[in-house]
Amino acid sequence: MHAIGSKRVSLCAAPLPGVARYKLLKVTALDKDQYTGKGLTRVQTKGGVMRDFVPVHREARQVLEEWLEAQQDASPPLFLTRTGSKLSRREAYGIIRRVAAQANAHLPEDEKRDVSPRVLRHTFLRKLAETKGVHYAREASGH
């Protein structure tokens, strides 16, 4: 998978800083016009509540902007399949599983990791807690 493709996994796996609570389904439902350069507008959260604005961390914005520049079509969905249709939750999960299999391919059995959107989300929140503090991570997780 080329660099942009592997970055797509980072984006659609839900550890987009500031978007951690929206899970894989919510991230795959985003449209390009929701991205403002600083964050996302009109994001549906847990329980169907709409948030007017969700900030996106600087590093994730950089990856997202590279992703948007690499896309050649004008269709609204933020994440598309190779055929141009909206990326589904199942397809995003398949991408994550394939990249995890590639990463695990040359590791000894005891070092292989099971990777899922949930694992990526928890890893993101743990790292966020280590760098920004537990309260910040709790807020980002929606708790």
What mean pLDDT do residues 18-35 have? 67
Count of domains observed in the chain? 1
More confident residue, 88 or 16: 88
Domain that holds residue 96: 3-141
C-alpha–C-alpha distance, residues 128 and 63, integer Å: 18
Nearest-10 crossing angle of helices 3-12, 89-104: 120
CB 93 within 8 A of CB 118: no
Q: Is 108 exposed, middle or buried (0-12, 13-18, 19+ CB in 10 A)?
A: exposed
Q: Identify which of 86, 103, 91, 84 has the alpha carbon closest to the alpha carbon of residue 1.
A: 103
Q: What is the CATH number of the domain that holds 35?
A: 1.10.443.10
- Extract the runs of DSSP E, i.e. beta strands, from the chain: 39-44, 50-55
| Banded pLDDT at 49 (limits 50, 70, 90) | confident
What mean pLDDT do residues 3-12 have? 45
Burial track 10-29 (b if 16+ CB lie within 10 A, e otherwise): bbbbbbbbbbbbbbbebbbb
| Banded pLDDT at 106 (limits 50, 70, 90) | very high
pTM, rounded to two decimals: 0.66
